[in-house]
Structure 1
Amino acid sequence: MRRTKNIFIALLFLCLSGTAFAAKITDVTSSVVPGNTRCEYLINPKGLDELQPRLSWTLTATDTAAFGQKQTAYRILVASTEGGLKLNKGDIWDSGWVSSSQMQQITYKGRPFVSDKNYFWKVSVKDEKGKISPWSKAAQWTTGLLKPTDWKAKWIGTDQIFDPAQQDCNISDPWLRKTFTLKTKPGKANIFVASVGFHEIYVNGKKIGNDVMAPSVTDHMKRARYVAYDIAPELKAGKNVITIWLGTSWSIFGPYIVKDRPNTPIVIAQAAIYANKNTTPLSKPELVISTDESWKTHKSPNKLLGVWDSNRMGGEIWDANKEVANWNTTACDETTWDKAITYQPKLVLSAQKIEPNRVFDEIKPIGIVERNDGTYRVDMGVNFAGWTEIKVKGKQGDTVKFLFSEREQSDITFSNHSAFVIGKTGQGTFHNRFNYSSGRWVTIKGLKSKPSLNDIRGWMVRTNYKEATTFECSDPLQNWTYNTIKWTFQNLSIGGYIVDCPQRERLGYGGDAHATCETGMFNYHMAAFYTKWMEDWRDVQGTESLVGNMYDENFARKSIMSGRIMNNGVLPHTAPTYMGGGGPAWGGIVVSLPWFIYQHEGDKRVLDKNFEMIKGWLSFLDLNTKDDMLVRFGGSWDFLGDWLWPGATAEGMNNNKPQTVFLNNCYRIFNLRTAAKIARVLHKDKEAQQWEKQADVSSAAIHAKFYNADDHSYSDKSMSNLAAALLGEVMPQDLKPLIMKRLENEILVVHKGHINVGITGGAMLFKVLRDAGRDDLIYAMTSQTDYPSWGYMKANGATTIWEMWEKDLPGHSLLHSSYLYPGAWYIDGVAGIKRDPQAPGFQRFIVRPPLLTATQMEWAKANIESPAGLIKTAWKRTGNQLTMNINVPPNCTAILQLQENETKNVTDKSNHIKDLGLKDGFRSFELTSGNHIIKTEKI
């Protein structure tokens, strides 16, 4: 009995001890856990050549009902092996505990990197009470070839040279291959591949990775970007083969033609193959595979249709009679293959620090019509840019043609077409590989029998940036506009830059970027994308735009507007593509885009890296000023103002009217004021003072010449010039409210709530109204259903946003960058999630319900994965009451701004709200991290 009692007491003690131990564990648990780790904005990037990469993370609350969670310190470990990281050994870098709330852009400060090496990292943080969090999940990055001398490979290609005189490209997309033997299956093997033209990599018959149309688009006068691929899993002991398939594409683009590089696709590739997975700086590879003259080449059955020029982008043709069995396996007979040709282009090799292209959103046709002429008309249901796959049958030698169109009444638009030559089997499948089409309808010619819906598929193709945001509201038209803008944006982003249109030009216009960049930032994780695009702009600086016949050797880079290299800070109007017309607002994107990135991400490096380019651009504009005002410069396509406003084609857009001079001067002043802010952030006070003074002096000159005192307008009194004046802040401050009132009248009275601007003017207008909180004016324009409006596009069956406000004007695109600027407003206006100008990166942000009535919009909700964490807002108006749900991420603070007349009986169930008082017509409240439910009434 006594023994039983003792056992019971012992068990009770152990139970109580266990309870106490469990309570102790709970007591020391941190309120936050780090995750969502990024290196240079990317998830586990491969092949980085950044010597001081920046590491970022966000925090998740362990108790979602709690409030006030913060980070007070962090510790980062970087290890040379995964095993070492698990043992908490930061042999490459141990930051130690750093007292800081910073979660973004933490610069690596460890040991120097080694080329072609894996690095593993994780982070732990301390919360507001000093409790230490668990470690984040292990993340990693691999380095690329960090020094030019690391490259031992040679550029190789074929002896096929593109002839621009031909209607269609005369060279085939080549195969290149190398066979070799390994003693054992390797533990590690990364291949680094840079190509001029697209490429695909195969090892022993298997395509490596899911990337398509690699690498990202790059200025091949200056640079080639390499991509890293892990090929170890596909290698084996014994005989192996690596095969590279090149696509002609950008290798024949006119502005990239230089004497030292052949007018044909070329590639350089290198792989060190190691027996063991973990390597050290002293590890010796079993074998190094490098491209050189020992590689073999053969023409593939694929060829570019068109010549990769505006209106001649074409498509692809596949000749099944030229197929070679086992072309990418060790079983291939190489005896008929030729030796590769080596070349020596003068190109900088750098890593592709951006997400690759991927295939998205399978698109299935909704109908097929057989026509009297024997052709078949396929309706894909939506306008898109990407790939198609079509099964065909027929006799050997028959050519089946596929014509792509944006317009139901036209068989083909912008010469987008592909083809398939049937082989001996009598059947086959056309599938894009190194080009893409754009349109909704496909006309099929050459088939003897009607295809089925299951024989045809499509896919949208774009850069693989991640979606950041969801949005929905009570207004169906606004939801349609938001979703259609997002769909259009995605279809414009193949290759790491935003094109004007994917079917006709594929040019990276700086002017159009104003209409798209903030829409991109508020809806997607675009930081790596825009960082890369800024490098493209640095590459093209010093060269003017090229307009004209780019294949005429007597024209190119000799006369005005032919891409002359001037080296005076000038910028072409597109990057990395040189071609196309524009004006000061086109080159001026190099000032505003870095600033927007900084505001959104808190990224100072993007300001620093582009500062010299900004100085160069502003100094170029200084060369073209007189009496403190910008004057017209360049050729006939170098001084555009607004573009594609309603009725613009009838009025004439490329003009010398005073309205264009005024708008471009306002934009220059906006550039100067923005550059001065950048200089202040970088502590470059000399430049800041210079630009601030220039902006003030030029503002006074512009105001004196163009101000209309009778009605507080400027120049021609147009909507675009009123917006330009407000954006540049050219007026004395006491006149600003009067000019805003005049703009309000222009929108609501003169144009009865309709928009009357184009691409650049519209981007300026929406920026001004968003910053001023004039959601009512934006809503007026976005809620219209007749011409000109987004609702007019919807009423006329649009599935993408058009190039012009007019319906179906000949020659204009129906998938275009022109009017995407409302995409940012839906998030920072309707959803009310605004950046705080004084706190870049969203660790402090503003929430302001829109200036709309319940009859205009009853409710809206949005989630945005900001750089600092997941922000959620949802609001609803019922009568005089406003109810809001606001989720503030850990380590963040929200400033809720309510109209003064809407602050009666403000309540927050959490009581974690602080009244900051009244300012500029708004009462502000500080919200700590956590989930807030707030109710208020109108006074």
Structure 2
Amino acid sequence: MLIRAGEAVSSQGAWVAEMIHPSVDQGVGTQSSFLRKTFNLSSRGGAGTLRISALGLYRAFINGKRVGDDLLTPGWTSYWDRLSFQTYDVSALLQDGDNTIDVWLGDGWYRSRMMWPRNQLFNTWGDKIGAIAELRGANGELIVGTDGTWQSGLAPVMKSGIYYGENYDARAENAPVSGGASVLGGFDKSTLLPAETTGVHELPALPVVKTFADAQGRTVYDFGQNAGGYVAFTVEGEAGAKITIEHAELTNHLGEFDRESMRSAEARVEYVLKGGAPESYRPTFSFFGFRFARVAIEGKATITDIKMIPISSAVTRTANFSSANPLVNRLVENTVWSQRSNFIEVPTDCPQRDERLGWTGDAQVFAPTACYLHESHGMLVKYVRDLIADQRPDGAIPHVVPDPTRNHEDVIPGFYGSTGWGDAIAVIPWTLYSHYGDRAILEEALPAMVKWNDFVWSISDGPIVRPPAGWGERGFTFGDWLQPQGDFAKPYPTIGDDAAATIYLYISSHLAAKTAEVVGDLAQAKRLNDRAAEVKKAFQREFMTAAGRIGYNDQTSYALGFLWDLIPPEHYEAAKGYFKETVARAHGRIGTGFIGTPALLPALVKIGEAELAGSVFLQEGLPGWLFQVKMGATTIWERWNALNEDGVAFDPQMNSYNHYAYGAVCQWLLEGVAGFRPDPALPAFKHIFFEPTIIPALSPVAANHDSVAGRIEAGWKIDGGKVTYSITVPEGASGTLVLAADYTDANVDGIAVSERGTDGKARSLLAPGKHKVTFRISKP
């Protein structure tokens, strides 16, 4: 059983054990090794705890029985600064007399290949794997710890890697020790810290829904769901027979098994039978992103059972949304599965190809949605701490964290400093505060926020940020990554890098100022508020015409401008008209990329265009959220046109079918359509705003969220022009109902709501418990 940090004395205190390296290890990409120690317990004397970590991945066994059930331990961190360890109650595994502890080691993220073929890295954080472990008794006394007296041998994992997969030869099980161990000099024990997240665990297995044979006679299994995980199978056959499994996200438009989205990731499993009784296997040190598995058999063997095992750090679902539209309901499930698939130790872009990196831009746009859909506090706190660890001396935040390029700039220079990406250091801590009331992470992250903010200002030494165009240059930005191009003969207007970067300088200044206010650094708050005001004025001077048009005249500019209150009052009405024209010009479809998409629908609602927001959301053409679902997607695509209308892939070299970024629309479904959101002034849902957006085609809508304050429920149905809105405010919380100006004749629990503010909106305080609200939609 895994003991959480702080639950046991053995999780605390100085380490006596040493980080040790198996002498039989032959380096990256070779056969895995194990470390072993035999010790005697004349009397067990009750409890025993094991705290353990590794450079690489480990799996521990005591007396042949596995320790714990979490996967890919000790996890993935910025290893030079932070290395997690786990603490387990192993009392039930110990016995009187002789005991043996084995620790298998794999390359993992630590030293297997990272990045792409043109600039790939091996031994990214180090070239020697190792383990550190302490077994302690009931009173905390040390029973055994890793040191130079341990022995080592070769494990049956013949090769493993994050992108590669795993080769396993069952004939090599139970190998004897064949070498010793040495203490890894220079290892800094101060980097060891208790595991901060729930870890990676298996989710319920998914059965095969369909099989077919390819042209070579290999069997393809369809599990019906794209996910991060692996295949588990049982096989019977002769010793030496081999099972080879390849993985894919889809079949192509011809119905063929299609591995092109894996790019150079081998993403394979090879299993060699020992023969005799039925053998069951699932990988130890790798995972895959896939829906389909193609199986080839060499020799005499028969697979008697096979299933997909999804794995994730997002194990506790905390929100649901349903409507009358099955495509919308499936979109929500697709987002849930994309979060599960990409919340494997680190919030990554994709789980399948030669990437699987912690892209900061993806994480910051999705963080609020993540906190709704699954319990995400521990994982995102850990990620913020990795952001801080990998921040460059000048304040730049890497594009990906943990950052493989750190200290490898001879191979990959300048992989940091993009606005919209590095702003994760401001957005994610503020999200954690809003959702979970975590003031401590604000205090911890504020210095890094300020350094980042100063870095962005320094790109152009002023409030207008003018990023360079060249990849790797200081301050390069990805802008509004993967905006749809529309008709190639007349493509959609695109936000300029300077406007995008300047808007994000405002956002990060604003959030850092609010953070400083919360933690009590009033001088810093004033400095940052003054900066935000200066950037806002500069944006209006530089990018807005006298007619109220934003210079680039694109959806993202208007969406972010309205959402973050960058449009001056004198231009508000004109800019609204231009914003609506950008949607009309795109034939009522999406014209936004990674940073613009989460803002698009909330901004339309904010300017009073709820009907237009609903129309954009519900249209089923390309580009569109529901187009993906109609095309059979079971997760969120990386790009709007990952598949075209004819089912042909757009670009196999950059085409993931399991990215969560565009799934950030689920934040709007919960906060906008169902209508509940936290109040940053009273975070952790101690006070909740209920402000629904009625999209008649979705009726009835039902949603809930298991917040830290308790379960929140909100749903509505429409009958003619009358809406019935049902709300549950958790005990210990309070709520405020907010109704748009065109929602009239409002009643709360039978009592009329008559007062309206200067914005035309009706408001009513809500006590804990269930409430029934009725109102009518009055068209202007």
With the length of structure 2 as denominator, give the TM-score of the two structures.
0.89
Match among 497, 509, 533 for residue 359 of structure 2: 509
Runs of at least 5 residues in structure 2 that lack an aligned partner in the other structure: 116-120, 406-414, 644-648
Cα deviation for residue 142 of structure 1 reads 2.5
Alignment of 1:901-912 (within 5 A): 901-904=742-745, 906-908=747-749
Q: Secondary structure at the match of 1:870?
A: strand
Q: Does 1:573 align with 2:399?
A: yes
Which letter maps to 1:828? E
State how far apart, in whole Å, the 2-side matches of 1:298 and 1:772 are: 67
Gaps of 5+ in 1: 1-43, 50-140, 164-168, 328-333, 543-566
Q: 1:379 and 1:206 mapped to 2: Cα distance?
A: 33
Q: Write the distance in 1 (CA, Å) between the matches of 2:355 and 2:604.
A: 31
Greater mean alpha carbon deviation, residues 219-228 or residues 396-405:
396-405
Residue type matched to 1:570 in 2?
A
Alignment-derived partner of residue 272 in structure 1:
136
1:933 alignment counterpart = 772
Specify the alignment match of 2:274 in structure 1. Answer: 423
Aligned residue for 1:625? 460
Of 2, 15, 18, the residue aligned with 1:154 is 18
Q: Which residue of 1 aligns with 2:408?
A: none
Does 1:590 find its partner at 2:429?
Answer: no
Amino acid aligned to 1:671:
S
- Structure-to-structure mapping, 1:492-571, within 5 angstroms: 492-542=342-392, 567-571=393-397
2:45 aligned to which of 186, 194, 197: 186
Partners of 1:907 and 1:936 within 8 A in 2? no
The 8 Å contact of residues 162 and 264 in structure 1, kept in 2 or not, is answered as: no
**1:796 maps onto 2:634 in alignment:** no
Please state if 1:470 is matched with 2:305.
Answer: no
Residues 789-810 of structure 1: CA deviation (Å, up to 9, x unaligned): 1221122221111111111221
- Assess if the C-alpha contact under 8 Å between 1:540 and 1:578 holds in 2: no
- Secondary structure of 1:877's partner? strand
Tell me the equivalent position of 1:412. 259
Q: Per the alignment, do residues 45 and 679 of structure 1 end up closer, same or farther by CA in structure 2, a change over 3 Å counting?
A: farther
Partner of 2:684: 841
1:480 paired with 2:330, answer yes
Residue 646 of structure 1 corresponds to 484
Please give the alpha-carbon distance, in whole angstroms, between the structure 2 residues aligned to 1:737 and 1:464: 43
CA contact (8 A) 1:667 1:724 kept: no
Tell me the SS of whatever aligns to 2:557: helix
8 Å Cα contact 1:645-1:757 kept in structure 2? yes
**How much does 1:591 deviate?**
0.7
> 2:447 is matched with which residue: 609, 612, 634?
612
Deviation string, structure 1 residues 124-171 (Cα, Å, up to 9, x no partner): xxxxxxxxxxxxxxxxx3345434xx20101112235666xxxxx532
* Alignment-derived partner of residue 685 in structure 1: 522
CA drift of 1:773 comes to: 7.5
Match of 1:875 in 2: 716
In structure 2, the CA distance between the partners of 1:383 and 1:718, relative to structure 1 (3 Å rule), is same
Relative distance call for 1:261 and 1:291 in structure 2 (3 A) is farther
Alpha-carbon spacing, 1:464–1:205, altered in 2? closer, same or farther (3 Å)? farther
Matched, 1:822 2:665: yes
CA deviations over 1:718-773 (Å, ceiling 9, x no partner): 111222333454332432443244323322x1223211111122134356457667
Contact 2:228–2:289 at 8 Å: present in 1 too?
yes
Tell me how many residue pairs correspond in the alignment: 742
For the 8 Å contact 1:473–1:861, the answer to whether it is kept is yes
Corresponding residue of 1:918: 757
**Is the aligned partner of 1:751 residue 2:586?**
yes
Three-state SS of the structure 1 residue aligned to 2:685 is coil
Shift in Å, 1:357: 0.7
Tell me, in whole angstroms, the C-alpha distance in 2 between the residues paired with 1:514 and 1:217.
Answer: 19
CA distance in 2, matches of 1:611, 1:589: 12
**C-alpha RMSD of matched pairs (Å):** 3.0
Counterpart mapping for 1:53-452 below 5 A? 141-147=7-13, 150-159=14-23, 170-253=29-112, 262-274=126-138, 279=139, 285=141, 287-305=142-160, 308=162, 313-324=163-174, 334=176, 336-344=177-185, 345-346=187-188, 348-393=191-236, 395-408=238-251, 409-413=256-260, 414=262, 415-425=266-276, 428-447=279-298
The 8 Å contact of residues 463 and 535 in structure 2, kept in 1 or not, is answered as yes
Looking at structure 1, the residues matched to 601 and 576 of structure 2 have their Cα atoms a distance apart, in angstroms, of 13
Q: Deviations over 1:350-382 (max 9, x none)?
A: 111211110003111122223442322222222
Shift of 1:649: 13
SS across alignment from 1:906: strand
- Asked if 2 retains the 8 angstrom alpha-carbon contact of 1:270 and 1:290, the reply is yes
Tell me the SS of whatever aligns to 2:3: coil
Q: Distance in 2 between matches of 1:468 and 1:460?
A: 18
Give the C-alpha shift of residue 863 in structure 1: 1.8
Alignment CA distance shift 1:902-1:258 (3 Å) = closer
Shift of 1:928: 0.9
Note the C-alpha offset of 1:914: 7.6
What's the counterpart of residue 85 of structure 1? none
Tell me how far apart the structure 2 counterparts of residues 658 and 875 of structure 1 sit (CA, whole Å). 36
CA distance in 2, matches of 1:450, 1:823: 46
CA 1:468–1:849: 2 relative to 1, 3 Å? same
Distance 1:357 1:419 in 2: 23
Question: Does the C-alpha gap of structure 1 residues 631 and 371 become closer, same or farther in structure 2, counting only changes over 3 Å?
Answer: closer
| Corresponding position of 2:3 | 46
> What's the offset of the Cα at 1:935?
2.7
The residue that corresponds to 1:118 in the other structure is none
What is residue 500 of structure 2 aligned with on the other side? 663
State the distance in 2 between where 1:180 and 1:926 align.
65
Partners in 2 of 1:785 and 1:501 — Cα distance?
27
Question: What CA distance in whole angstroms lies between the structure 2 residues aligned with 1:528 and 1:724?
Answer: 29
Question: CA 1:372–1:262 in 2, change beyond 3 Å: closer, same or farther?
Answer: closer
> In 1, Cα distance between the equivalents of 2:328 and 2:608?
18
Q: Whose Rg is larger?
A: 1
Taking the aligned partners of 2:225 and 2:416, their CA distance within structure 1 comes to 30
CA change 1:597–1:813 in 2 (3 A) is same
Residue 403 to residue 578, structure 1, CA distance change in 2 (3 Å): same
State the distance in 1 between where 2:451 and 2:381 align. 19
Cα deviation for residue 183 of structure 1 reads: 2.1
CA distance in 1, matches of 2:277, 2:73: 32
- Secondary structure of the residue that 2:328 maps to in structure 1? helix
Deviations 1:28-51 (A, max 9, x none): xxxxxxxxxxxxxxxx983526xx
Question: Structure 1 720/396 Cα, relative in aligned 2: closer, same or farther at 3 Å?
Answer: same
Indicate the residue corresponding to 2:646 in structure 1.
Answer: none
Pairwise CA distance, 1:397:
3.2
Which is further off, 868-877 or 625-634?
A: 625-634
TM-score calculated relative to the size of structure 1? 0.74
- What pairs with 1:853-872 in structure 2 (closer than 5 Å)? 854=696, 856-872=697-713
Report the alpha carbon displacement of residue 205 of structure 1 after superposing the two structures with TM.
1.7
Judging changes above 3 Å, is the alpha-carbon distance between structure 1 residues 370 and 900 closer, same or farther for their aligned structure 2 residues? closer
> Would you say the 8 A contact 2:20–2:181 is kept in 1?
yes
Alpha carbons 1:914, 1:927 under 8 Å: kept: no
**How many percent of aligned residue pairs carry the same amino acid?**
22
What is the CA-CA distance between 1:703 and the residue it aligns to?
2.3
Give the aligned partner of residue 717 of structure 1. 553
